[in-house]
Amino acid sequence: MRWRVLGAAVGTAVVVLASACGLGPGSGTELTVYSAQHEDLVRVMLDGFARETGIDVKLRSGGDFELGNQLVQEGSASPADVFLTENSPAMTLVSGQGLLAPLDAGTLAQVPPQYASSGKDWVGFAARSTVLAYNPSLQPERELPTSIMDLAGPRWEDAVGIAAAGADFQAIVSAVVAVRGEAAAQAWLRGLKANAKIYRSNVAVMAAVNSGEVRTGLMYHYYWYKDRAESGGNSADTELKFFGNSDAGAFVSVSGAGVLKSSRHAADAQKLVRYLTSRSGQEALVDSDALEYPVGTGIAANSTLKPLSELDPPTVDIGRLNGPRVVELMQQAGLL
């Protein structure tokens, strides 16, 4: 019993110390950021921010909707100052609840207008393109679908990998809804339910396509590029098809940044969002391993990527992509 008491005491001390370690030296302010973007990318950008301004940031990572819904639940009592999303529907959700504060004009001026919300309360800081990854040895190039909607057809049974539970795929579905309408989207989802193999994540989708487990997979571009830049272990036997043609499958999803109205460090929070869309912030993004597209005006993407101008995405109002409705549709189709 002595050991147990000792252990408990040590444990308590240790937990206290561990959480205290989170508070480092630096300026007095510390921002709390709820981020659904990939942590390695966010850290790079936040480190740059800390170097420039000396403001420390405490990061809580999670999924788009996990954090989005949590913010909605927390309401005005939320400890978060800044919300970063990987895709826009979650930001729309939070914005729709009136939880975001208007952004500084200077921040909004740093990006083209299609990458800022019409309500001027959030802005994109990174973008990614929908792609169809395919395994050339199983899937001849000439037989690739011309539109993402084809994937619900009879030829594609057990041939499409999707990460259904992820916010990335749900953002793609929201684009389909926006571009083709709800009825078409419903039909498409039903077709996918029959055709698709469900994976946990985009990486898993790509790995499955690579290993030949499934012929094609819907995901975002940067996973392929990242993997190729490293060892190619999960992408050596994979090629990418960009749909283009303003097809729903060419949807470019925007990662958003917004300041919470309830933030207790509003000025510093605005500084952070401004940094993310500034030249230095965007260049940090480009130089990082993330291989996502920058959105800042006049910033060129990483040279290995297909240029943003060649992607020909459909025009969607990123501020209107409806996350919860997509969840309902997917539930009805049996994908969730």
**Contact residues for another protein, defined by CB under 8 A:** 1, 3-5, 7-8, 10-15, 17-19, 21-22, 32, 39-40, 58-61, 63, 65-66, 68-70, 72-74, 77, 79, 164-167, 170, 198-201, 203-204, 207-208, 211, 213, 230-231, 233-234, 323-324, 327, 330-332, 334, 336
Give the shortest CB-50-to-another protein separation in angstroms.
16
Nearest residue (CB) to another protein, 144 versus 336: 336
Q: Coil, strand or helix: which one is 108? A: helix
Q: For residue 38, give both structure tokens.
A: 């990939």
Give the shortest CB-282-to-another protein separation in angstroms.
23
Give the shortest CB-165-to-another protein separation in angstroms.
4
Looking at the DSSP assignment, which residues form a beta bridge with residue 126? 255
**Nearest alpha-carbon partner for 199 in 211, 187, 191, 186:** 211
Contact residues for 245 (Cβ-Cβ < 8 A; gap 6+) = 146, 147, 312
Nearest residue (CB) to another protein, 38 versus 274: 38
Q: What secondary structure letter does DSSP report for 293? A: B
> DSSP alpha helices (H): ranges in 97-181?
105-108, 167-180
Nearest residue (CB) to another protein, 19 versus 303: 19
Q: Coil, strand or helix: which one is 245? A: coil
Rounded CA-CA distance 122/101 in Å is 8
Contact predicate 118/316, CB 8 Å: no
Torsion angle (degrees, nearest 10) of CA 44, 47, 49, 53: -170
Contact predicate 34/60, CB 8 Å: yes
Give the shortest CB-32-to-another protein separation in angstroms.
7
Give the shortest CB-241-to-another protein separation in angstroms.
22
Nearest residue (CB) to another protein, 75 versus 153: 75
Nearest residue (CB) to another protein, 231 versus 315: 231
Give the shortest CB-108-to-another protein separation in angstroms.
29
Give the shortest CB-112-to-another protein separation in angstroms.
30
Contact predicate 88/124, CB 8 Å: yes
Within 10 Å of residue 19's Cβ, how many Cβ atoms?
Answer: 9
Give the Å distances, CA to CA, from 133 to 22, 56, 145.
40, 39, 12
Nearest residue (CB) to another protein, 300 versus 327: 327
Nearest residue (CB) to another protein, 169 versus 251: 169
Nearest residue (CB) to another protein, 17 versus 105: 17
Angle, helices 279-287 vs 266-277, to 10°: value is 60
Within 10 Å of residue 189's Cβ, how many Cβ atoms?
Answer: 24
Give the shortest CB-14-to-another protein separation in angstroms.
4
Nearest residue (CB) to another protein, 294 versus 323: 323
Rounded CA-CA distance 153/150 in Å is 5
Give the shortest CB-77-to-another protein separation in angstroms.
6
